[in-house]
Amino acid sequence: MSDRAALLAAICAHPDEDTPRLAYADWLDEHADTVPAPAAARAHAQFIRDDIAMWLREEYDPLRLRWVLIEKPKREAEAWVRDALPALHWGNFARDPLFRRGFPWTVTVPPASAPHAPADLTVAAPIERLGISHCGGHITELLRAAPWRRRLRAVEFDHRGNRSPTDTLSRIAFERLDRLAFRHDAITTAEARELVAAPLFRGLAAFRIVRARVGTVIPDALAHANRPGSLRELHLVECGVAQMPLADFLNSPAASGLESLSVGGDRTNSSLKFRAFGLVTDMPPLRALDVSDESPGELGIEFLLGSPFPPVLRRLDLSRCSLNRDRVRALAGGAFGALRVLWLYGNSVGNDGAVALAQSPHLSGLLVLDLGFAQVGDEGIGAILESPLADGLVLLDLTGSPASAEMKEVLKARMGDRVRL
């Protein structure tokens, strides 16, 4: 085995350790002139060091946010990436992002994959997440044969195939699995209820269902389990989550460690869903809340602002929530002293709403503000430029702004690549 292969093997065998990854970066630098693409080798080496350094920073550190949102996507689009990706003939590397701590980490298996597992399923990368489209019998065979199966931390099922995903999960022994996701009706109500009661679920740190009308089953089952949960993240998007099961869950031992919650996407008059936040008495350590694609109305915003969550939230997503300038003004008056990331994409924020956000003493610590397609023009942008946000924001998204060309030039001159237009 070559030194390079040995280093890659060490990275795969010890995916949580950074030392083998940094040793590989050193090897790339030292042997760059001996490989077919020296510049690509050096670029990958520096990327590994940068990615690890940013990973070690706190999630809302401005430098890390800039890396994740601006610099890393640019670097992953550079030519060296082609040479850095190992051969993979039975699936595809996914971009979400493409690299984690310097190496590709997610593989997706398309439905057109061979009906039987290929003879060689090795891959010279620390695979941690597997995406499965249309689960079939070949997936069980693939997982049993894959040498990296025991290293998997996350499995995601996309669309329903001819094999139950929960049946597949029950047939495979996972040692590190702590994240599960199901998309586009990949799981049924009965399967979801069975999964919550299974031993596998008790070890999960993150659980996600997107576009499957089973959402009420999950919080209801968790609330009635009456046991402390390991869940740090729960995402039920377009699942029809109702008020009381959500409130019961948030007040239950199962939510005692919950840090991130998504319950949006139903696109309904959802003020009652927002009322669930005001019914919380046993506060979970929630830091991120996503209720995008809802229509809370003024009453729903009042419920949110009157809940225990605003003072502790670090991230809030209210994209496409039919917010007008009055509702945004009310939001700007909320006690969001710890908030660092705010998404208001696709709302009618307007200039008046943008002025209220810029002048809010509670939002001066924002690092990311998304006002894409939010009808913010010259007056609103001018207020932002005159506020502490102009210097403090890592990223300001004003995609689709109706502002004048002159104001956009002023904005770009002031904020550079920290603004999107």
**Selection from 198, 199, 157 nearest residue 181 by Cα:** 157
Please classify residue 417 by burial: count the beta carbons closer than 10 Å to its beta carbon, then call 0-12 exposed, 13-18 middle and 19+ buried. Answer: exposed
User: What is the pLDDT at residue 325?
Assistant: 95
**Selection from 290, 355, 300 nearest residue 322 by Cα:** 300
User: What is the pLDDT at residue 170?
Assistant: 87
Pairing of strands 395-397, 260-262: unpaired
Average pLDDT, the chain: 93
pLDDT of 178 higher than 70: yes
Say which residue the tokens 């209210």 belong to. 318
Mean pLDDT of 392-420: 98
Please classify residue 175 by burial: count the beta carbons closer than 10 Å to its beta carbon, then call 0-12 exposed, 13-18 middle and 19+ buried. Answer: exposed
Ranking 26-35, 165-174, 184-193 by mean pLDDT, the lowest is 165-174
Say which residue the tokens 């690092």 belong to. 367
The better pLDDT of the pair 175, 403 is held by 403
What is the separation of C-alpha 372 from the centre of its chain, rounded to a whole number of angstroms? 19
pLDDT tens by residue, 353-385: 999 999 999 999 999 999 999 999 999 999 999
User: Residue 256: CA atoms inside 13 Å, Cβ hemisphere, count?
Assistant: 9
Q: Distance between CA 288 and CA 313 in Å, rounded?
A: 6
The alpha carbon dihedral of 300, 302, 306, 311 has a sign of positive
> Residue 62's CB: how many other CB atoms inside 10 A?
15
Ranking 130-144, 288-302, 393-407 by mean pLDDT, the lowest is 130-144
CB 345 within 8 A of CB 323: no
> Residue 382's CB: how many other CB atoms inside 10 A?
18
Query: Per the omega criterion (within 30 degrees of 0), is the bond before 97 cis?
Result: yes
User: What is the pLDDT at residue 89?
Assistant: 80
CA angle 78, 79, 84 (to 5 degrees): 100
CA angle 212, 274, 393 (to 5 degrees): 95
CATH fold for the domain made of 323-421: 3.80.10
User: What is the pLDDT at residue 120?
Assistant: 72
Mind spelling out the 3-state secondary structure of 211-231? CCCCCCHHHHHHHHHCCCCCC
Q: How would residue 215 be classed by pLDDT, with cut points 50, 70 and 90? A: confident
Mind spelling out the 3-state secondary structure of 241-295? CCHHHHHHHHCCHHHCCCCEEECCCCCCECHHHHHHHHCCCCCCCCCEEECCCCE
Residue ranges per domain, the chain? 3-72, 323-421
CB 407 within 8 A of CB 378: yes
**Selection from 367, 371, 356 nearest residue 403 by Cα:** 371
User: pTM for this one?
Assistant: 0.94
Mean pLDDT of 33-57: 96
User: What is the pLDDT at residue 117?
Assistant: 55
Please classify residue 359 by burial: count the beta carbons closer than 10 Å to its beta carbon, then call 0-12 exposed, 13-18 middle and 19+ buried. Answer: middle
Q: How would residue 1 be classed by pLDDT, with cut points 50, 70 and 90? A: low
CB 257 within 8 A of CB 282: no
> In Å, what is the CA distance from 60 to each residue of 5, 57, 166, 332?
35, 8, 35, 20
- Token pair of 17 as six digits: 């350790």
CA angle 105, 16, 110 (to 5 degrees): 20
**DSSP character for 68?**
I
Q: Distance between CA 280 and CA 229 in Å, rounded?
A: 17
Please classify residue 200 by burial: count the beta carbons closer than 10 Å to its beta carbon, then call 0-12 exposed, 13-18 middle and 19+ buried. Answer: middle
First to last CA, the chain: 50
Ranking 160-164, 268-272, 325-329 by mean pLDDT, the lowest is 268-272
pLDDT tens by residue, 74-127: 999 999 999 999 988 888 999 889 999 999 999 998 876 555 556 678 889 999
